[in-house]
Amino acid sequence: MRASCEEVASENTGDHSPSLLRSPRLGAHYLGDGRCEIAVWVPRASKVELKIVGPQERWVQLAPAERGYYQANVEDLYPGASYVFRLDGSKERPDPASRYQPFGVHQPSQLTDLRAFRWNDAQWSGLDLEKYVLYELHVGTFTAEGTFDAILPRLDELKSLGITAVELMPVAQFPGERNWGYDGVYPFAVQASYGGPEGLKRLVDACHQRGMAVVLDVVYNHLGPEGNYLSEFGPYFTDAYRTPWGQAINFDGADSDEVVKFFAQNALQWVGDFHIDALRLDAIHGIVDRNARPFLELLGCEVDRLAEETGRKIYLIAESDLNDSRFVLPRKANGYGLHAQWNDDFHHAVHVLMTGEQGGYYQDFGSVGQLAKAYSEGYVYTGEYSKFRKRRHGNSSSEIEARQLVVFTQNHDQVGNRMLGERLRQLVSFDALKVCAGLLVLSPFLPLIFMGEEYAETAPFLYFTSHSDPNLIEAVRRGRRGARSAG
């Protein structure tokens, strides 16, 4: 049987404090009165300095600590100051745990006071999971302005539609001003062009005042290519595994405990400092972790502990194409204890019946019986042979409760990964579209609506980035073209 959260917490500590937070808080933390606490993990460096770029340039030597951390308590440093780390007297790089990159991914980080915001959601403790009706949106394209603040006037409309949870595609800082969000390179920083940390807090606060939860999509399986300096700080990546999107994160190799702490602290920042109610964990099938106590289980323990301590309802919702019920089964039943999971099989069963498409993974679907199984059990593939994968696929989902499965007939992936980005409205008749809506909202699962789906939006939703390197732009273009033709 897997260890309990209490056993995980007390490992190597002798007490029940959160083990993933016992290392220094990464990044720059403003304490008030011009005092700042700095910590960075650079296990292979012999010297690390803090260079304060502005408003007045000066240098601070960081002191080495256990396991490759460097720390300093800095005086006379205020929010708005720009800084970089200097490694071994040569490389100058932004803070890998930067909370704000207002000048872009290659420029200095900026100190911000995450405590300064005045919240108005003291009475909010969250929603029970079974009450989630999710609306997935992309901040940069949901409105003409493409900002958090521009979403605020639309919240009442979403609430009247019956939406109870607004799900944001990733907002971690990425290169340029336009991006799907899955090329983020500063996991702790809120995209500056969207409105930065203050803008995100205003949106979350406004949702809570309307009785709506906020779900944030986070990416812990890879980082984007441009502005990704993590490998210069430490062994954050591994060559032992590969992902379709970039280098795999080192969750189980040498020094991986500190990598786990980096991403765990990131998750706890979102649910703690930003009052996010749930995290959608992107493509966890791209997280390879052979530890007896893997990152996802440890993260679930920490989130559950925070929820208990604060009296809030906080959830982890996994995206996975593995059809593996162990991710959401309780830890006492040898599961990871995550709270819910996306169920692609429901989408595929509906999509193929309505469109007749049979390319790529759709070749595994096409019968009414499969849709019936999706309704009655959750997964369609529970160990059967998959023609697409050329092997057996999945295990039983009979022990997963309906409220633990998120279903949809459209989402950013299923629309945006098509060659032309067509929405379902371009593929089926209006009557068929209404049938799809009925199948979704009348299911026993947690329904997710993709932005514009409620009024049969016809504008395509294509994958997009705004990298600055022409060679990288062309490489991404070729890669996307190949992926679409293969799928």
**Any catalytic annotation for residue 282?**
yes
Q: Which 3 state secondary structure label does DSSP give 442?
A: coil
Phi-psi region of 384 (alpha: psi -120 to 50; beta: other; left: phi over 0): beta
How far apart CA 395 and CA 380 sit, in angstroms, is 10
One of 319, 324, 345, 453 is an active-site residue; which one? Answer: 319
Sign of the alpha-carbon torsion through 139, 144, 145, 150:
negative
How far apart CA 351 and CA 357 sit, in angstroms, is 8
**Any catalytic annotation for residue 66?**
no
Alpha helices of 11-53 — where are they, by DSSP H? none
One of 226, 282, 297, 413 is an active-site residue; which one? Answer: 282
How far apart CA 79 and CA 33 sit, in angstroms, is 10
Number of helices and strands in the chain (H, E): 13, 23
Residue type, 424: L
How far apart CA 428 and CA 269 sit, in angstroms, is 42
C-alpha triplet 424, 429, 430: angle, nearest 5°: 85
Token pair, residue 154, equals: 């639309």
Residue type, 269: Q
Element containing residue 139 per DSSP (H, E):
helix 139-142
Q: How many CB atoms lie within 10 A of CB 91?
A: 13
| Residue appearing with tokens 């290392």 | 23
Report how far apart, in Å, the C-alpha atoms of 389 and of each of 142, 360, 363 are: 35, 10, 10
343 CB contacts (<8 Å, ≥6 apart)?
374, 378, 379, 405, 406, 407, 445
Phi and psi at residue 419, in whole multiples of 5°? -55, -40
CB 262 within 8 A of CB 22: no
How far apart CA 417 and CA 401 sit, in angstroms, is 29
C-alpha triplet 122, 126, 129: angle, nearest 5°: 180
How far apart CA 410 and CA 414 sit, in angstroms, is 6
> Which sequence positions are flagged as catalytic?
282, 319
